[in-house]
Structure 1
Amino acid sequence: MRRNRWSLTLAVGLMMAAVLACNFSATTANISSFKIGKDEDAKTETSDFKPSDVVYAVAQVSNTSDTHKVKARVLYDDVKGQDSGKVVPGLETTLEVPGARPVMLNFTGPGKNWMNGRYKIEVTMTDKDGKQIDQKTGTFTIAGGSSSSSTSSADNANESSSEHSSGH
């Protein structure tokens, strides 16, 4: 009798585990790293730039073979005369990223020059249903030289999901 009870308990436990495993759907897809730098691969990370510099960023999408959307935007963080958290005009983009790969971005300041101050890059990864999976942020500072206060939004963000992009 004891043996039958143990077998029944084991069988019920295995069945429950199988049912739960079939109904459980979790993704491990993520942005495993996010770097900001002065070169296309952001190999040498930095957060200090001049007003005329191109700011490069690389977000590494990992642990997936599915296509996800990756949205990147540059926000004012502490820039004189600008509201903190406001998107810098023209510096927001959304990409369809197939599988695990680096997402390489580059940003040129409005009017080809950045205003002195601190900025934030926010990268958000969503699934096919628009549900946020992961988000990374990084800040950088613009200092020195004469900065322009122009806010032209003409094609200031360039991106590619698997190859180097050219800067403006």
Structure 2
Amino acid sequence: MKKKIYWLIPFLILGLFLTGCSRNKVYGTVVISSEKYNQVQTDKKYVNQLLKSLEKFDSEKPGTAQNIYSAVNKLNKEASKNMTKQDKKKLRELLITNDKSIKNIIKNAYQNHYGFDDDLSGSISTEFYKVIHLIINPITKQSANRKKVYNQFIKDTKAQQKLNNVGTTQ
């Protein structure tokens, strides 16, 4: 009987260890649930799609603007899943409906055949970083942890570099 127990103890410890590892994940040195970690990964995917579309924008090619509109709509749909009604509304305004939204900035640049200059790129960057702050809100309630997650998110998506390259294909 004792031999069986001695054989079971290591497996029991290993099982408990693996169970503990699968429940929580670490992102930006913050422990978050697996569900929230998956949400961060999904948000990163759609943010990267938007950044890639922004980098390829050319005011002379309508397809590049359509790619941005599509990426904005997908990001709005996916990122707003766990948000409060207020945050969903703010996100929609920043991405789509507001006069200074990313979609309207691109629409205006396309309709008027503006090339990307520092002002236009800066306008998009300002709205983009506000969007990221909103995306991070439902991940953790503590502001210090939010800042860590935000910084890691920006680092992982290479947002600063990519936003500096917005419209450079023109």
TM-score (norm 2): 0.38
More helix by share: 2
More strand by share: 1
TM-score (norm 1): 0.39
